[in-house]
Amino acid sequence: MRDLSVFRALLLILTVFMSHQVAASSDTTATRSTALYDDLGGHDGIRQMMETFVLNIAEDERVVHHFVNADIERFHTQISEHICELSGGPCIYKGASMPEVHKGMNISRAEFNAIVENLITAMETHDVAVSTQNRLLAILAAMHNDVIQR
Amino acid sequence: MKIRILIGAVCLSMSPIAAADFGRLLATGGLTTIEGAGGGGIVPWATLSSYAEQGQWGGTLAYNHANVRDYQLDVAAATLNYDNRVEFSYARQRFTLESLGGELEQAIYGVKYRLYGDVVYGKAPQISMGALHKKNTTFALPNAVGAADDSGTDFYLAATKAWLDGPWHRTWLANLTVRATKANEMGLLGFGGDKKDDYSLVAEASVGMFINRHWIVGVEYRQKPNHLNFADEQDWHDVFVGWFPTKRIAVALAYTNLKTIAGAPEQSGVYGSVQVTF
Ligand code: HEM
Ligand code: HEM
Whether B6 shows a pLDDT value over 50: the answer reads no
So what's the pLDDT on residue A75?
A: 95
Separation in Å, CA A122 to CA B137, B185, B204, B246:
52, 47, 38, 17
The shortest C-alpha distance from B3 to chain A (Å) reads 31
The CATH number given to whatever domain includes residue B38 is 2.40.160.40
So what's the pLDDT on residue A28?
A: 47
What is the tens place of the pLDDT at every residue in A26-85? 444 445 678 899 999 999 999 999 999 999 999 999 999 999 999 999 999 999 999 999
- Contact partners, residue B18, CB within 8 Å, separation at least 6: B12, B57
Q: Is A25 an interface residue toward B (CB < 8 Å)?
A: no
Distance in Å from the first CA to the final CA of chain A: 49
Q: What's the domain range around B143?
A: 2-277
Cβ separation of A138 and B25 shorter than 8 Å? Answer: no
Whether B8 shows a pLDDT value over 50: the answer reads no
Cβ separation of A10 and B221 shorter than 8 Å? Answer: yes
Whether B117 shows a pLDDT value over 50: the answer reads yes
- Please give the distance, rounded to the nearest whole angstrom, from the Cα atom of residue B185 to the centre of ligand 2: 8
The shortest C-alpha distance from B8 to chain A (Å) reads 24
Whether A3 shows a pLDDT value over 60: the answer reads no
Q: In the predicted model, what is the mean pLDDT of residues B247-273?
A: 80
The shortest C-alpha distance from B79 to chain A (Å) reads 20
Count up the domains in chain B and report the number. Answer: 1
Tell me, what amino acid is at B233? Answer: E
Tell me, what amino acid is at B43? Answer: V
So what's the pLDDT on residue A6?
A: 63
Closest Cα to atom 8 of ligand 1: A79
Q: In the predicted model, what is the mean pLDDT of residues B108-124?
A: 96
So what's the pLDDT on residue A19?
A: 58
Task: Write the residue in A4, A130, A135 that is nearest to B212 by C-beta.
Answer: A130
Q: Is A15 an interface residue toward B (CB < 8 Å)?
A: no
The shortest C-alpha distance from A6 to chain B (Å) reads 7
Q: Which residue among A49, A54, A101, A135 has the greatest number of ligand 1 atoms within 8 angstroms of its CB, and so is best to mutate? A: A101
A-B CB pairs within 8 A amount to: 100
So what's the pLDDT on residue B2?
A: 46
What is the tens place of the pLDDT at every residue in B58-82? 999 999 999 887 888 999 999 999 9
- Please give the distance, rounded to the nearest whole angstrom, from the Cα atom of residue A17 to the centre of ligand 2: 35
Q: Is B260 an interface residue toward A (CB < 8 Å)?
A: no
Choosing among 3.40.50.80, 2.60.40.10, 3.90.1150.10, 1.10.490.10, the CATH entry for A2-13+33-147 is 1.10.490.10
- Contact partners, residue A9, CB within 8 Å, separation at least 6: none
What is the tens place of the pLDDT at every residue in B220-242? 999 999 999 988 888 888 999 99
Cβ separation of A114 and B23 shorter than 8 Å? Answer: yes
- Please give the distance, rounded to the nearest whole angstrom, from the Cα atom of residue B261 to the centre of ligand 2: 4
Q: Is the CB of A67 under 6 A from ligand 1?
A: yes
Mean pLDDT of chain B: 89
What is the tens place of the pLDDT at every residue in A91-126? 999 999 999 999 999 999 999 999 999 999 999 999
What is the tens place of the pLDDT at every residue in B164-210? 999 999 999 999 999 999 999 999 999 999 999 999 999 999 999 99
Whether A23 shows a pLDDT value over 60: the answer reads no
Q: Is the CB of B260 under 6 A from ligand 2?
A: yes
Whether B266 shows a pLDDT value over 90: the answer reads no
Distance between CA atoms of A44 and B252, rounded to whole angstroms?
40
So what's the pLDDT on residue B14?
A: 42
Domain chopping of chain A, boundaries: 2-13+33-147
- Please give the distance, rounded to the nearest whole angstrom, from the Cα atom of residue A101 to the centre of ligand 1: 6
Distance between CA atoms of B68 and B70, rounded to whole angstroms?
6
So what's the pLDDT on residue B258?
A: 66
Cβ separation of B25 and A116 shorter than 8 Å? Answer: yes
The predicted complex's ipTM stands at 0.82
A102 assigned binding-site residue? yes
Cβ separation of B24 and A113 shorter than 8 Å? Answer: yes
So what's the pLDDT on residue A1?
A: 45
Q: Following DSSP, what letter does each residue of B26-67 receive, concatenated?
A: TTTT-EE-TTSSEESSSSB-SSPSSS--TT-EEEEEEEEEEE
* Of B128, B106, B154, nearest in space to B30 by CA: B128
